[in-house]
């Protein structure tokens, strides 16, 4: 095949490319920066020609053009597989629907619910006819294989991320190519942790050892853990994580990450997607120390467990005295989705020497400025239980750790009250007595 000739045949304008979309179609996008910008804008321009088009993104970070031009959903509907900050606004207006799942299921979900059209931002084609998915190999390969039509938006700013088995798409699998104006990729600057979050992170660092294989979620506490690891004496750490964030770059630059002791994918930092600063994207580009895999590889509990000394660090919104964990909405207000938390808790539990930590600050401010305890007798009404009490790992606040494993309900209540804010401990004890889990 003459790849350059094939490229010219498939190269079209954005408006021409999106003509493949028909009324009633399902349209899928990759996660994060792998979504499209100018193709999505071109689709929005077709609003009056279409009805019943169902958009199915994951953690979208480019503008939501179709929702902006059709706020009443007469032409497009938004069906999210993970809430981003951009999407919470639409949910509050009743314009967004959520598809709950664990992300290790997402490739199989896409296979069962195949899209009509798949649109993705990719790197320029190489000399062998391959386009790289960049920082979003998480589900892109399976989406492209199952879609009726595949459209790619070439952006020279997308890093070429090396991978294990699903990091690229060949020109023979693509229907139309659009060369974008190369806008800068959406960036996410690191969250500056508060002093309370730093105090919480200290209790995680105390349990880590040389050779640990790390997974970090997003937010201030995981960021604080990364900064503290970078400044610590820990050595020969490995990485097997769902999302690659700035903290891993900081630890790598400090010489803490080598991957020498990993049981699978030694010497490689394994992940599914990345989102961060331009500095992070530059670090990802053609870096042979990194390997991007799809979700059903990275988030598979059995595969996670094959590495020894897995340390999983995620966050929660609130925890109750039975050990139930809420990491998604509190009440009916959307926050995020399930993502990797359950898979990595299970994987770390199965790992030889593995440890899983769910971190939260002991209190949070209400709208009137008063404090409320994030450790509660029972979860807020309507709260989504991300982790049941039977699977709870180690809960961490700025006041210490509470290990839920192999503990009775009375022992759990006592351990959690010990790491609650002192101002709320008496109330929690009274509630625990009424629940018959305190003596």
Model confidence pLDDT, tens digit, residues 355-390:
999 999 999 988 888 999 999 999 998 888 888 898
- Same domain assignment for residues 129 and 264: no
Q: Give the rounded percent of residues in the chain with a pLDDT score beyond 70.
A: 94
214 — pLDDT class (breaks 50, 70, 90): very high
- Same domain assignment for residues 227 and 175: no
Residues with Cβ within 8 Å of 206's Cβ and at least 6 positions away in sequence, in order, are: none
Is position 190 within any domain? no
Residue 254 CB neighbour total at 10 angstroms: 15
Is position 116 within any domain? yes
- Same domain assignment for residues 37 and 137: yes
Overall average pLDDT of the 227-237 stretch: 96
Q: Which residues are catalytic?
A: 242
Query: Are 25 and 53 contacting, i.e. CB atoms less than 8 angstroms apart?
Result: yes
Is position 402 within any domain? yes
- Same domain assignment for residues 110 and 248: no
Q: Give the rounded percent of residues in the chain with a pLDDT score beyond 90.
A: 76
Is 107 a residue whose pLDDT tops 80?
no
The predicted-structure confidence for 157-212, as pLDDT tens digits, reads as follows 999 999 988 999 999 999 999 999 999 999 987 788 999 999 999 999 999 999 99
**What length does the chain have?**
439
Write down which residue in 179, 214, 236 finishes a domain.
179
- Same domain assignment for residues 272 and 398: yes
The DSSP bridge pattern shows strands 318-320 and 325-326 to be antiparallel
- Same domain assignment for residues 220 and 100: no
pLDDT of 367 reads: 86
The predicted-structure confidence for 382-420, as pLDDT tens digits, reads as follows 888 888 898 899 999 999 999 999 999 999 999 999 999
Is position 23 within any domain? yes
Is position 212 within any domain? yes
Is 260 a residue whose pLDDT tops 80?
yes
Is 88 a residue whose pLDDT tops 80?
no
Is position 210 within any domain? yes
pLDDT of 335 reads: 54
- Same domain assignment for residues 145 and 269: no
pLDDT of 86 reads: 67
- Same domain assignment for residues 50 and 129: yes
- Same domain assignment for residues 127 and 49: yes
- Same domain assignment for residues 76 and 203: no
Element (H, E) at 312: strand 310-315
Angle between helices 195-205 and 220-230 (to 10 degrees): 60
The predicted-structure confidence for 292-305, as pLDDT tens digits, reads as follows 999 999 999 999 99
Is 102 a residue whose pLDDT tops 80?
no
pLDDT of 83 reads: 66
Write down which residue in 147, 179, 211 finishes a domain.
179
- Alpha-carbon gap, residue 15 to 46, rounded angstroms: 8
**Domain of 331: which CATH number?**
3.40.1080.20
- Same domain assignment for residues 158 and 218: no
Alpha helices in 171-322 (DSSP H): 195-205, 220-230, 246-253, 278-284, 295-298, 301-305
Q: Which residues of 189-219 are buried (b: 16+ CB within 10 A; e: fewer)?
A: ebbebeebbbbbbebbbeebeebbbbbbbbb
Write down which residue in 120, 152, 179 finishes a domain.
179
pLDDT of 72 reads: 85
- The total number of structural domains in the chain stands at 2
The predicted-structure confidence for 48-76, as pLDDT tens digits, reads as follows 999 999 999 888 889 989 988 998 889 99
Overall average pLDDT of the 120-136 stretch: 97
- Same domain assignment for residues 175 and 278: no
pLDDT of 329 reads: 65
**Domain of 138: which CATH number?**
3.40.1080.10
Is position 186 within any domain? no
Instruction: Give the domain extent around 62.
Output: 8-179
Is position 3 within any domain? no
Residue 288 CB neighbour total at 10 angstroms: 8
Cross-strand pairs, 292: 163, 271
Over the chain, what is the mean pLDDT? 92
Is 332 a residue whose pLDDT tops 60?
no
pLDDT of 52 reads: 94
Is 21 a residue whose pLDDT tops 60?
yes
Is 338 a residue whose pLDDT tops 80?
no
Higher pLDDT, 319 or 79: 319
Cα–Cα separations (whole angstroms), residue 304 to 148, 238, 308, 310:
33, 12, 9, 8
Is 334 a residue whose pLDDT tops 70?
no
147 — pLDDT class (breaks 50, 70, 90): very high
Residue 403 CB neighbour total at 10 angstroms: 16
Residue 206 DSSP symbol: T
């Amino acid at each position: 095949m003459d790849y350059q000739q094939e490229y010219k045949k498939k190269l079209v304008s954005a408006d021409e490319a999106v003509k493949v979309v028909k009324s009633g179609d399902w349209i899928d996008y990759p996660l994060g920066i792998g979504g499209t910008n100018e193709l999505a804008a071109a689709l929005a321009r077709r609003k009056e020609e279409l009805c019943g088009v169902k958009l199915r993104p994951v953690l979208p970070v480019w503008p939501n053009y179709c929702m902006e031009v059709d706020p009443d959903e007469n032409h497009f509907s938004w069906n999210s597989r993970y809430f981003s900050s951009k999407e919470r606004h639409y949910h509050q207006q009743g314009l967004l629907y959520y598809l709950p799942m664990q992300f290790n299921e997402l490739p199989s979900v896409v296979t069962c619910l195949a899209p009509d059209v798949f649109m993705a931002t990719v790197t320029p084609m190489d000399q062998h006819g391959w386009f790289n998915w960049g920082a979003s190999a998480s589900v892109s390969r399976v989406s492209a294989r199952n879609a009726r039509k595949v459209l790619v938006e070439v952006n020279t700013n997308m890093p070429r991320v090396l991978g294990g088995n699903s990091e690229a798409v060949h020109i023979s699998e693509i229907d139309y190519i659009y060369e974008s104006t190369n806008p800068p990729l959406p960036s996410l600057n690191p969250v500056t942790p508060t002093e309370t979050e730093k105090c919480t992170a200290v209790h995680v660092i105390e349990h880590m050892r040389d050779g640990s294989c790390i997974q970090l979620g997003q937010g201030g506490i995981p960021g604080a853990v990364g900064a503290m690891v970078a400044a610590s004496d820990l050595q020969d750490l490995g990485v097997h994580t769902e999302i690659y964030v700035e903290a891993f770059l900081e630890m790598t630059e400090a010489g803490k990450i080598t991957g020498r002791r990993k049981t699978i994918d030694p010497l490689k930092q394994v992940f599914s997607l990345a989102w961060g600063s331009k500095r992070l994207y530059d670090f990802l580009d053609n870096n042979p120390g990194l390997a991007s895999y799809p979700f059903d590889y990275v988030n598979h509990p059995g595969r996670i467990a094959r590495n020894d000394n897995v340390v999983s660090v995620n966050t929660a919104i609130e925890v109750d005295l039975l050990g139930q964990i809420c990491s998604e909405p509190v009440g009916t207000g959307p926050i995020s989705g399930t993502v990797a938390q359950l898979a990595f808790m299970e994987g770390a539990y199965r790992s030889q020497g593995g440890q899983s930590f769910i971190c939260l600050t002991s209190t949070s401010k209400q709208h009137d400025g008063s404090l409320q305890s994030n450790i509660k007798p029972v979860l807020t009404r309507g709260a989504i239980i991300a982790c049941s009490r039977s699977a709870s790992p180690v809960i961490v606040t700025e006041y210490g750790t509470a290990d839920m494993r192999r503990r009775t309900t009375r022992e759990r209540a006592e351990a959690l009250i010990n790491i609650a804010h002192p101002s709320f401990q008496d109330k929690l004890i009274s509630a625990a007595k009424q629940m018959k889990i305190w003596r």
